[in-house]
Amino acid sequence: MKVLVTGGCGFIGQHIVEELVKRNYRVAVIDVTCYEDCHVLHSDVRYYHADITENLDDIFEKEKPDYVIHLAAQVDVVKSIEKPKLDATINITGTINILDCCYKHSVKKLIYASSAAVYGEPAYLGIDEDHPQNPTSFYGISKHSAELYIKAFSDLHELNYTILRYANVYGPGSKANGNVISTFIDLMSNDKQPEIFGDGNQSRDFIFVKDVANANIAALHRGDRQTINISTGKPTTLNELVKKLNSLLNKNLTANYLPARDGDISQSYLTNIKAHDSLNWGIEYSLERGLQFTLNQDKENLHDK
Ligand SMILES: NC(=O)c1ccc[n+]([C@@H]2O[C@H](COP(=O)([O-])OP(=O)(O)OC[C@H]3O[C@@H](n4cnc5c(N)ncnc54)[C@H](O)[C@@H]3O)[C@@H](O)[C@H]2O)c1
């Protein structure tokens, strides 16, 4: 079975590619990032330096993928607010382009990386898949729009799909900008105080990247035409996060509390019951285990440099 991964050189993409290779899938990757910049390069994976908004017929024709895992996106919420047209071009038009290729080249199934950002301000907790969708950023709107296109393509052209809505993903390889766990690890490993906007009691649902990769693999063969949260089902406050990192890093740092930012969501966690039932998937990494894995891997990478 051949799987084409768009955005396969990105943070989550590299973990998915690694898991696919481990499970003996044949893999091809499309990414605008030069593949030499991928942390893990696999000799048996075909890397295409290509933009999802451009004509991809030749690649689809050559690779004839059975499945497509579509991750390539503009992922920066702040940038989406500064450059809504760019965000929409990559996340909406790019997704339509991928859908078109899937239809034309008889792909069996598309797995799409959506986001908790489609829900916006929570009307209740834990957020389930039926929660109203009121995205508050252009990024959230573009992810929501892409979901609608996928469903319409499926209805009109019988394209099979699974939409996975990820909570906050963390793990080795995540960039510090915008990702609270990488940012805290970066600062605290260097004996610097983590900065918290507000009182630190705001919560997020932190899901380890290898659990997300496993959910994508499960979705290749399950969860047809469904939209499914990929989350831990548990809230963690930023204060709890600082405490856990202090304990794992053997430090005693206090957070630097700054004024709360307008528009920041206060509490958030997503239910994962549907993922258990439809994908037969569950988390294998508790927050402690995932953080420990991330710290160990970061140390190994430092030694490799
Ligand atoms: N990281 C998270 O917490 C999180 C949460 C929810 C959803 N997601 C979704 O998961 C997916 C992967 O996110 P990530 O965190 O790995 O981000 P990332 O930025 O590390 O990876 C995205 C990859 O897409 C590539 N890309 C961007 N524009 C492209 C284009 N026009 N053509 C081809 N490739 C392009 C980038 O080069 C990058 O390698 C995204 O769709 C994102 O919206 C991520």
**198 lies in a domain?**
no
pLDDT(175) > 80: no
Backbone angles phi, psi at 57, to 5 degrees: -55, -45
Cβ-proximal residues to 118 (8 Å cutoff; 6+ apart), any chain:
133, 135, 140, 143, 144, 147, 165
219-255 residue pLDDT tens: 999 999 999 999 999 999 999 999 999 999 999 999 9
For ligand 1, whether the C-beta of 113 sits within 6 Å is yes
Active site residue 149: no
What share of the chain in percent tops pLDDT 70?
A: 95
pLDDT(170) > 60: yes
Residue-range definition of the domain harbouring residue 73: 2-173+206-231
**244 lies in a domain?**
no
User: Which one is catalytic: 47, 112, 119, 139?
Assistant: 139
Task: Determine the distance separating the centroid of ligand 1 and the alpha carbon of 199, expressed in angstroms.
Answer: 30
**6 lies in a domain?**
yes
For ligand 1, whether the C-beta of 168 sits within 6 Å is yes
How many domains, in total, are found in the chain? 1
What single-letter amino acid sits at 182? S
Task: Determine the distance separating the centroid of ligand 1 and the alpha carbon of 38, expressed in angstroms.
Answer: 13
**211 lies in a domain?**
yes
Rounded CA-CA distance 167/232 in Å is 8
Task: Determine the distance separating the centroid of ligand 1 and the alpha carbon of 270, expressed in angstroms.
Answer: 20
Indicate the length of the chain as a whole number.
305
Whether 208 contacts 283, CB under 8 Å? yes
**25 lies in a domain?**
yes
pLDDT(132) > 70: yes
For ligand 1, whether the C-beta of 56 sits within 6 Å is no
CATH number for the domain harbouring residue 227: 3.40.50.720
Sign of the torsion angle spanned by Cα atoms 210, 216, 218, 223: positive
**Alpha carbon of 274 to those of 67, 164, 165, 253: distances in Å?**
22, 11, 11, 38
**223 lies in a domain?**
yes
Q: pTM for the complete prediction? A: 0.97
**188 lies in a domain?**
no
Kindly indicate the confidence band of residue 305, based on its pLDDT and cuts at 50, 70 and 90. very low
**260 lies in a domain?**
no
